Amino acid sequence: MNSAGLGSSRHNAQSEPVEGLNPFAIAQRQLALAAELMGLDETMHELLRWPIREFHVRFPVKMDDGSTQLFEGFRVQYNDARGPTKGGIRFHPAGTFDTIRALAAWMTWKCALMDLPLGGGMGGVVCNPKEFSPAELERLSRGYIRALFPYIGPETDIAAPDVYTTPQIMGWMRDEYSRTVGYNVPGVVSGKPLPLGGSQGRLDAGARGGMVCIREAARQIGLGLGDATVAIQGYGNAGRFAHKLVTEMLGATTVAVSDSMGAVYCPDGLDFDRLLEHKRGTGSVVGYRCCETCREISNAELLELDVDVLIPAALEGAIRADNAPRIRAKIVAELADGPTTPDADDILYQKGVFVIPDFLCNAGGVTVSYFEQVQNAYSYKWDLEAVHERLDQRMSSAFSDVQEVAAQYNIHYRIAAYLIAVARVAEVCQLRGWV
């Protein structure tokens, strides 16, 4: 295992961010824009450009056929000035260190924007979990925790679900850590099953927080959501719950959804229960038919549909300089991390598209994860109504803060959110005597 200190990763990452799909380069470029606007001290900017701590591990897993495979894993603790680092774990075949670095950076700003006493972290394993049996997936999950055990914990670094990880996986990880220390430590992970110390309202928290942001954005531009149409790119946890809550919370109509296999479009609206049943039965939204007007389209076509609200809920880099001019939605609500590149941001801003940035729009997940940590620490459970009420308050307050700064400086919401978050992290770094 290798542990890298402050700035040691600069020779491995792109140091000159440019428009493209390197997510860490994009994260650094976004920070640079905010640093220039706020006149951030050069040393402080350099401190915040890089993770303070990184881990790169390889660990063995016994497979069902008796063979042993080695897997590559990462954990990045980006900045812990405000508190223990917090962030997801993704199991994905295309995982890279720069992706994990970017996600950890965005989590740092997300926690600061929501005014949580947490820093930002992120982890992952390079694998395709769809190819694993449940027993193999459990051994992989436990192996990852064993490899990183000395460097994680409820006072150090707390994990959570991300792409292709689930509450059950968090349960295995909680158990492995607890077995190793010899006593129960429910707070080492969040997003756990309820009987293991999970929180009510955690499963749909990311999407629910996004709905609050869409509601507030619609008020800003005078969009009536009762007649609004919505397209959702990505049908994982966030995308599925977004489809459900678009109707329940906003009264809007979802006309298109997609997954990694393709997309389906119906101008009359897609019924959540029927589409979910099809997805579970076939493994994809592709092939779903509800009426004569329902048809398959590509993921690229979905992004460019003439809808009121576009929700990117898949992976990074979906909206770029080459397709941003064709985006026709009035609101882009980023439930995914990093779906819009900086050059695309500028294009959308000039077009008058209201972009709700990722680390505001999808902050509901980490906010309810924080609620889960609080409940674990006090051995006390909140009811669902209390979680929803507190989440709505947090999201509405953060949206209002960003709105005020955006109006004050005549800038788009992403840079406004950065100004707030970076200022909060920089202040604590300064007060602690780091710079």
Q: Quick one: 313 and 431 in the same domain?
A: yes
Q: Quick one: 116 and 191 in the same domain?
A: yes
CATH code for the domain in which residue 289 is found: 3.40.50.720
Q: Answer with the one of 173, 196, 219 that is the final residue of a domain.
A: 196
Dihedral of CA atoms 318, 323, 329, 333 in degrees, nearest 10, equals 20
- pLDDT range class, residue 14, cuts 50, 70, 90: very low
Q: Quick one: 333 and 203 in the same domain?
A: yes
pLDDT tens profile 333-372: 999 988 998 899 999 999 999 999 999 999 999 999 999 9
pLDDT greater than 70 at residue 161: yes
Q: Quick one: 145 and 205 in the same domain?
A: no
Structurally, the chain folds into a number of domains equal to: 2
Per-residue pLDDT, 261: 92
Encoded amino acid at 26, one letter = I
Dihedral of CA atoms 141, 144, 148, 154 in degrees, nearest 10, equals -20
Q: Quick one: 305 and 429 in the same domain?
A: yes
pLDDT greater than 50 at residue 7: no
- 17 is a domain residue: no
pLDDT greater than 90 at residue 407: yes
How far apart CA 251 and CA 321 sit, in angstroms, is: 32
Per-residue pLDDT, 274: 95
pLDDT greater than 50 at residue 2: no
Encoded amino acid at 76, one letter = V
- Six-digit token string for 354: 């209201």
Mean pLDDT of 368-387: 96
- 34 is a domain residue: no
142 vs 13: which has the higher pLDDT: 142
Q: Within 10 A of 83 (CB to CB), how many other CB atoms are there?
A: 15
Q: Quick one: 331 and 219 in the same domain?
A: yes
pLDDT greater than 90 at residue 11: no
Residue 90 domain boundaries: 2-12+52-196
Q: Quick one: 205 and 264 in the same domain?
A: yes
Contacts of 22 by beta carbon, 8 Å cutoff, 6+ apart: 14, 98
- 39 is a domain residue: no
CB-CB contact of 300 with 323 (8 Å): yes
- 253 is a domain residue: yes
Please, what is the average pLDDT of the chain? Answer: 92
Q: Quick one: 181 and 107 in the same domain?
A: yes
pLDDT greater than 90 at residue 49: yes
pLDDT tens profile 63-80: 999 999 999 999 999 999
Per-residue pLDDT, 315: 76
How far apart CA 435 and CA 431 sit, in angstroms, is: 9
CATH code for the domain in which residue 149 is found: 3.40.50.10860
Q: How far apart are the first and last CA of the chain?
A: 29
pLDDT tens profile 283-300: 999 999 888 889 999 999
Per-residue pLDDT, 96: 84
